[in-house]
Amino acid sequence: MENNMKFFIITIVLSLFQTNLVLGQAGNLDISRFGGKPNTDIAKAIVSAFTQACAATTPSKIVIPAGKYIMGSVDLKGPCKAPIELQVDGTVSAPTDAAALKGVEYWFKISHVNSFTLSGVGVFDGLGPTSWKQNDCTKNKDCKMLCMNFGFHFLNDSTIRDVTSKDSKNFHANVLECGNVTFDGFKIIAPAESPNTDGIHIGRSNGVKILNTNIGTGDDCISIGDGTSNVVVQNVNCGPGHGISVGSLGRYENEEPVEGLLVKNCTLKNTDNGVRIKTWPSDLGATVTDMNFEDITMINVSNPIIVDQEYCPWNQCTKEKPSKIKISKVSFKNIKGTSGTKEGMSLICSKGVPCEEVQIANVDLTFNGAETSAKCANVKPIITGKAPVCAA
Ligand SMILES: *[C@@H]1O[C@H](CO)[C@@H](O)[C@H](O)[C@H]1NC(C)=O
Ligand SMILES: *[C@@H]1O[C@H](CO)[C@@H](O)[C@H](O)[C@H]1NC(C)=O
Ligand SMILES: *[C@@H]1O[C@H](CO)[C@@H](O)[C@H](O)[C@H]1NC(C)=O
Ligand SMILES: *[C@@H]1O[C@H](CO)[C@@H](O)[C@H](O)[C@H]1NC(C)=O
C-alpha cells in the first residue's frame, strides 16, 4: 500500500512537471493559428506568435507560409527565454497606403533578443516607389525620414538567412548595437535610382558578418558607422549601388572607433564607388584602423578605391579645417577589373592626421583598356606588385 501511494504521488508530480514543460514549449507556430491569413494584415498575428514564442522555454519557430500578405509595422522586443526562428516563405508587402507607415522608423524591427533567426525564401516588399519622391532629406532639412525595411537592434548570436528585402522606402536594414549577427544568403533589391536605399548599415556592433549576399540598390550596398568592430564581408556582389563604405565619420560628436574590417572575394558591378573610407573635414576626432580589402573584382566602377577625408556632400561643411579622423592599417590587395573613369585609386588623407600604414598590393585596374592613374595626398602607401601610380 505504502509503495503504491508513493508511486501514485511520484506519477502525479512527474505529470505536473511534464505539463509545465508542455506549457513552456511553443514549437512550430504557423501564423494562421494567430489569425494571420493571406491577403490580410498579419502584423498582429506576428506579434501574438512572437509573444508566445518569447515566453517559451524551448526553441520555437514562427512560420509565415507561402502566399501574399500585407504587414503594418511590427516592433518585437525581447529578452526571450529560448531561441526563436521566424521563417518567412511568403511575400509580405507594406500597406499600399503609405500613410500607414508615416512617422514609423522601421517597418519590421526586432530588438534585445539572443539567438534570433530570420529565414525562408520569402520577400519583404517595402513598396518604395510610392514614397521615393518624398525622400529628399539630402536637400530638405525639414524632411520626414521614411521608414526602413528592417531594424535589427541589440541582437546577439543571430542570423538573417535567405530572405529578400525589396524596394525599401529608406535603408533596407539598420544593424545597431548587435553582437555576432550573420547575414547569409540575404538578398537586397531596389533600382539604381531609388534614393537613400542603403543596403545594410552597421553601427555600434561587434562581430557582424555579411556572407553570400547579393545587393543591388540605390545607395551604399554596405555602410559601416562608428563604434563597429570585427566586420566580415565575404562573397558579396554589389551593384547597382554606391559600393562598400566605411563612414561617413566626423559629422557627429563622440564617435567611437571603427576597428577591424575584412572585405574579401567581392564583386562590384556598375557602382559609383567600389571600396571607400570617407570622413568629414571637422574638429571631431575618431579612429579608423585595421581595414582590409582583398580579392575584389571591379566591373565598370566609377571610383574603385577611395579614401576621402574631404567628404563634404551638398556643401554642408567647409574644407578649410582638415578631418581629425585618424586612419591607419589599411590594405588593398588583389583588386582587379575595370574602372569607369581613368582614376582607379584616390587616397586623399587628412593634412591634419595623415593616413598611416596603408598597403597596396596587386591592384590592376584598367579604363578603356589602359592602366588607371591614382591621386594621393597625405599618405605614403607601401606598394607591392602592380598598382596605379600616385600623382600628387
Ligand atoms: C548581448 O550581449 C551583450 C554583451 O555580452 C550583453 O550586454 C547584452 O545583455 C546581450 N543582449 C541580450 C538580449 O541578452
Ligand atoms: C561574439 O563572439 C565572440 C567570439 O566568439 C565572443 O568573444 C563574444 O563574447 C560574442 N559576443 C556576443 C555579444 O555574443
Ligand atoms: C567567391 O564568391 C562567389 C560568390 O560571389 C562564390 O561563388 C565563390 O565560391 C567565392 N569564392 C571563394 C574562393 O570563396
Ligand atoms: C557603367 O556604369 C554606369 C553607371 O555608373 C552606367 O551608366 C553604364 O551604363 C555602365 N556601362 C556598362 C557598359 O554597363
Ligand 2 and 156: CB distance under 6 A: yes
Q: Residue 110: nearest ligand to its CA?
A: 1
pLDDT, position 255: 94
Sorting pLDDT into bands at 50, 70 and 90, what band is 14? very low
pLDDT of 305 > 50? The answer is yes
Least confident of 72-86, 142-156, 333-347: 142-156
Please list the alpha-helical segments (H only) found in the chain.
2-23, 43-55
Share of the chain above pLDDT 90, in %: 83
Instruction: Kindly report, residue by residue over 83-111, the tens digit of the pLDDT.
Output: 999 999 999 999 999 889 999 999 999 99
* Ligand 3 pocket, mutate which of 232, 238, 265, 336 (most atoms under 8 A from CB): 265
Instruction: Kindly report, residue by residue over 341-392, the tens digit of the pLDDT.
Output: 999 999 999 999 999 999 999 999 999 999 999 999 999 999 999 999 998 6
Phi, psi of 100 (to 5 degrees): -65, -25
The dihedral sign for the CA sequence 39, 40, 43, 48 = negative
Sorting pLDDT into bands at 50, 70 and 90, what band is 318? confident
CB 114 within 8 A of CB 78: yes
pLDDT of 13 > 60? The answer is no
Three-state SS annotation for 271-340? CCEEEEEEECCCCCEEEEEEEEEEEEEEEEECEEEEEECCCCHHHCCCCCCCCEEEEEEEEEEEEEEEEC
Ligand 4 and 134: CB distance under 6 A: no
Phi, psi of 313 (to 5 degrees): -70, 155
DSSP state letter for 389:
P
Classify burial at 82, counting beta carbons within 10 Å of its beta carbon; exposed 0-12, middle 13-18, buried 19 or more.
middle
pTM, 2 dp: 0.92
Residue 22 CA neighbour count, 13 Å, CB half: 6
Is 242 a residue of the active site?
A: yes
Provide the number of structural domains found in the chain. Answer: 1
Total length of the chain: 392
**Which residue segment(s) compose the domain that 293 sits in?**
2-391
CB 283 within 8 A of CB 317: no
CATH of the domain at 377: 2.160.20.10
| Cell (9 digits) for 118 | 530570420
The CA-based angle 278-251-294, given to 5 degrees, is 20
Q: From the CA of 179, how far away is ligand 2's center (Å)?
A: 7
* Ligand 1 pocket, mutate which of 113, 156, 175 (most atoms under 8 A from CB): 156
Sorting pLDDT into bands at 50, 70 and 90, what band is 291? very high
Please list the alpha-helical segments (H only) found in 123-269.
none
State the catalytic residue, choosing from 125, 198, 242, 308: 242
Q: From the CA of 210, how far away is ligand 3's center (Å)?
A: 13
